[in-house]
Structure 1
Amino acid sequence: MRPLMIFAAGLGTRMRPLTNDRPKPLVQVAGQTLLDRALDLGRAAGCAPIAVNTHYLGHQIRDHLAGQDVAISDEPQVILDTGGGLRQAMPLLGPGPVMTLNPDVVWTGPNPLAALQDAWRDDMDALLALVPLSRAVARLGAGDFAMDAQGRISRQGDYVYAGAQIIRPELLADIPDQVFSLNRLWDLMIARGRAFGMVHPGGWCDVGRPEAIELAQGMLADARV
């Protein structure tokens, strides 16, 4: 079992007006909230403990999770971004490596968290789930990474970070800022040649905008045929 952090503290600006009265993780796709979809993936992969960070309308997420075995890492004053948020939540998660998951993504095919655990090796500082830009439904913009024959990643290429990973958290202690992105850690790990990618073979949809919901639901329906 590995600990899992689900990032749920964002403002959901791109998802307005749906996020005018709810946080983005509580937006539904095919009758299920994005947060519950993320939790289902984590539980099916045997992840424990599981922590969720909150900020915008965080009381709604807390109420939604009431009675469930999920720890809450609240960020009431300032959104700490992915790096700062993970560092704050580490006492709830225990020692690493830890898994992280963005809930604003819909997947089909193999459970990406289970696949990452199967592919993890001791020579890795980070293992990121990737999808080719050509298969990244609703993605706007360019790719994030290139990947060599050994699976090592570098910046700028035709692979998109899919929002799931295993990462060693030790380098979090070396960053003095309160608010920072996990991109800071990835750059350090890429420079050490210890950041790797794993291509997700199934479907993937970025549910960051209202119009992406219909695309995600269509992808899910196609996968059931």
Structure 2
Amino acid sequence: MIETAFFYAAGLGTRMRPLTEDRPKPLIELAGKTLLEHAIDPARAAGITKFATNIHYLADQIKEHPATRNFVIFDEREKLLETGGGLKAATAILGVAPLFTMNTDAVWKGENPFQKLDKHWEHSKMDALLLLVPTSKARGYSGKGDFELGGNGEIRRGNGFVYTGCQIIDPSGLSDFEDSVFSTNLYWDRLAQKGRLFGLVYDGLWCDVGKPDSIAIAENMLKEATDV
């Protein structure tokens, strides 16, 4: 089992206003616990032992929250580094071995996403394995998707599948980017050109919790039967 998980928690939460006026989005509550805990709990259940997160907006609230006790905290209050830049900076402490990254604005029900990714990870042929859901099954989401999925598991930009926010990624290639601020999307595009970007379909239930009205959608999803 890959031992490290990095949780993205430095976003500004603009789409979630007014709920984020006095708290960061990861600390919004849903079904009795914070979005951050919804992300962390399956990682702990999967046996992951090393945890890290980045902070920016209302950072002290996340830093002082019980859920992040014993976390490695990367403080981006002076400069928001985006997803790629934040992970690149984190490698100075976390190292460059493959690790999980997880967004903190989604809710899951079904197979543990970390365990599912770990079972299908093949570092010999992939540098990133993204967990996807078909757009037709994505809750709280109205876009056309992020990727197309090939028959061999390789993915490329397109429609049909949504990135869930959870992946295994080899961060060593991030050092090739000279900028300190950049999106992981740029790294994915490079990996896709090399045939090293793969996707895996999640068979459980998933909801994007990016806007206030998504909270009720997610809570109703969690009440559904466990057979999916």
- Compute the displacement of 1:67 (Å): 7.4
Aligned equivalent of 2:27: 26
Equivalent residue of 2:20, what SS?
Answer: helix
Equivalent residue of 1:197, what SS?
Answer: strand
Aligned equivalent of 1:180: 182
- Compute the displacement of 1:2 (Å): 2.4
Aligned equivalent of 1:158: 160
Runs of 4+ in 1 over 6 A off after TM superposition: none
Identity of aligned residues (%): 49
| Cα distance change of structure 1 residues 28 and 123 upon mapping to structure 2, 3 Å threshold | same
Question: C-alpha distance in 2, partners of 1:100/1:26?
Answer: 18
- The normalised TM-score by structure 2 is 0.95
Question: C-alpha distance in 2, partners of 1:35/1:100?
Answer: 13
Q: Deviations over 1:122-166 (max 9, x none)?
A: 211110000000011111322100011110001112000010000
| Count of matched residue pairs | 225
Equivalent residue of 2:225, what SS?
Answer: helix
Equivalent residue of 2:70, what SS?
Answer: coil
- Give the conservation status (yes or no) of the 8 Å contact 2:62–2:68: no
- Compute the displacement of 1:92 (Å): 3.3
Aligned equivalent of 1:84: 85
Give the aligned residue type for 1:150: N
Aligned equivalent of 1:189: 191
* Farther-moved stretch of structure 1 (62-71 vs 45-54): 62-71
Give the aligned residue type for 1:119: H
Question: C-alpha distance in 2, partners of 1:106/1:164?
Answer: 11
- Compute the displacement of 1:172 (Å): 0.5
RMSD over aligned Cα, in angstroms? Answer: 1.4
- Give the conservation status (yes or no) of the 8 Å contact 2:135–2:143: no
- Give the conservation status (yes or no) of the 8 Å contact 2:107–2:206: yes
Equivalent residue of 1:9, what SS?
Answer: coil
- The normalised TM-score by structure 1 is 0.96
Give the aligned residue type for 1:44: A
Q: Map 1:117-128; keep pairs closer than 5 Å.
A: 117-121=118-122, 122-128=124-130
Equivalent residue of 1:11, what SS?
Answer: coil
- Give the conservation status (yes or no) of the 8 Å contact 1:4–1:93: no
- Compute the displacement of 1:3 (Å): 1.0
